[in-house]
Structure 1
Amino acid sequence: MQDPLDLLDLDADLTANERSLRSDVRALVDEHVRPNIAEWYESAHFPRELVPELARLGLLGMHLDGYGCAGRGAVEYGLAALELEAGDSGLRTFLSVQGSLAMGAIRMFGSEDQRNRWLPEMARGEVIGCFGLTEPDAGSDPSGMSTYARRDGGDWVISGRKRWIGLASIADVAVIWAKTDDGIRGFIVPTTAPGFAATPIAGKLSMRASVQCDIALDDVRVPGDSILPEARGLGAPFRCLNEARYGIAWGVMGAARDSLTTALRYSSDRRQFGRAIAGFQLTQAKLVDMSLELEKGTMLALRLGRLKESGRLTPEQISIGKLNNTREAIRICRTARTILGGNGISSEYSPLRHASNLESVRTYEGTDEVHTLIIGRRLTGIDAFR
């Protein structure tokens, strides 16, 4: 039976394996997340207890090949991101940080010894990773980072600060990016190393069922073989970020779909002036507008996935997906909230929680402004960043 929200029957363009994986992830969210997410959000609790379930489905580093990773396709990864973010952005963020950023960096730029040491345990959820790039004074321009790694005999000694680093306080290993005399390099740093400290950021109004931290690195000493040998310059972390940005283009459509579904169900049940509010023209206009943007955004994500699977996906195309889908998903969530009236500010309903989370998603992995300028550079050939 066709999903009533799938106005263009995009399901017909998915393979049986893609639909099966989507069903498995959706079932996990329905069973474990929906009954608990309001409480987790209120108490600022990240459900680490779900990590074994995510690993059981092969979702951690699922798009990577070898080393215990599932080797799934790009569309399968996207669908998993969508279903997890329909539960909460914090869950999809975990998938991104663990799989696309931390594991992705080790898989793309690590040595064979590093891959064999870390990736199988990370795929099983036995080791959690984080990705330390952003700094208090170097957000959209990571070339301005001040974290520095110096040689000391056969070791590296790293000093600096990182901010808004997902999972850092629960991570076992961190991929840290630092300036060296040889340019920007990446390092694998156990979080138990003396001088490494991760402090959760309190007072968040968004992404409350997730973990973001400040990291302090005070003369953290790591062996010489902790450096990622193939990671040189900012192009390396940017490749990791593009993997995460691709997943975001899918994930935010999950938050939008859940918000629209909530509004559609509520408006069908809620009666005012003697009839269901879904029968009023202004309500139907909102539902239609949300449905159109949801379907267009999902179609865009699917197009990006097929391009990625064929090896033709470009960074500019990823920016189109991240910019458009995040922007439209926020609008859908906010509009859905209006249909719920005063009840829409209650944690009983998801749209305002999703909208709040998406303010963070809109900011990380490149702000609207950054992605606008990436697309603008592609259109004009002129770099407007400086």
Structure 2
Amino acid sequence: MSNSGVGAVNETRVKLKLTPVERKASFSLALLFASRMLGLFLLTPVFAVAALSIPGGNDATKVGLALGAYGLTQAIMQIPLGMASDRFGRRSVVVAGMVLFIAGGVICAMASDINWIIAGRILQGLGAVSAAITAWVADATRPEVRTRAMAMVGASIGLSFAVSLVLSPVVVGQFGLSGLFWVISLLGFVCLLVAAFVVPSAPRAAPPLVRVKPVDVLRHADLLRLNLGVFCLHFILMALFIVVPTVLAGLGGYGSAQLWQVYLPVILLSFVFMVPAVFYTETRKAHKAALQWSVLGLAVTLLLMPWASEQLLFMVAALVGFFIAFNVLEALQPSLVSRVAPPDFKGLALGFYNMSQALGVFIGASLGGLVITYAGASYVFLVCAVLALIWYGVARGMQPLKDA
């Protein structure tokens, strides 16, 4: 190989390494996101049972409202706070959002009945900072390493979900539902400290030569495709995990206190496969192909789940396949949004994106419960598979990236 060829290879390797500032920003923002997501996920595995200990907690409608209210207010506030982060800066918006999250958690911790928990969850949801955090990651990293940085944030979601399944029953068992909300509030305070003092400042992108309007973000075809994608991804996640605990309990006799024995190895093993997939995507600039293949893999895995759900080993293998695709998509899609969005409205674009994510969480959980009640678990898998196939068809129309 010629010296010029060797130099080009070395230059590519240097470009694909995170700088010290990028590394610090990526790790601290992943920690911030992980702590916040853990604070959200801790409630999900145990609330329906733990709520029976408080007045009104036996009303299934109000219990569902308490869980879902957070997602609805998150969806409403993602766009305003995404725009605010474009105008006032990421740090100030994230800190303000975490103050609301903590205040809502304290109200829930001190609640005397289910109605006060609903009020606290509404207030928590008003602190919708996902768009600002993901925009902050995009600001702090170069395009050629951004997917890797987003992978750290995306991986934090899966890891937080796994940790919540282990930690939540323990906390409720020791300190009750009120103690769980105090832990959630403490995690919010950790997020506030990280946002205020740990994450390094990142330069804003230079103003574009051609100005765009906010409505152009809403009309952007590829951004709409990515918004549909994150809606589908989180709809599928929430609907699936209404079914999966029951399936695992039936196949392996796992109670709520033992489910972590399946989830944690599945999540960790999926990370092992996710890392080379993300690295390959970056080095080969294969973002569009990686998106399409991951969605197709997700659809195939879901189509196989009704059959896999008849044997424990096959079900575990299917879950590993699901989380490989889920984690790659969780890392890839916000990176694509940050690349496609106009620089002046990156926070707004990520606001629409995270609003779609929150709606997917709320609607997926609600419809998943209805489907399993009136049709059965297998139909939940099939509904999710059909949705993934629709997503695959839409993703095929995405335009190639100029820098990828």
Report 1 or 2 for greater relative contact order, CA contacts < 8 Å, sequence distance ≥ 6: 2
TM-score (norm 2): 0.30
Higher strand share: 1
Higher helix share: 2
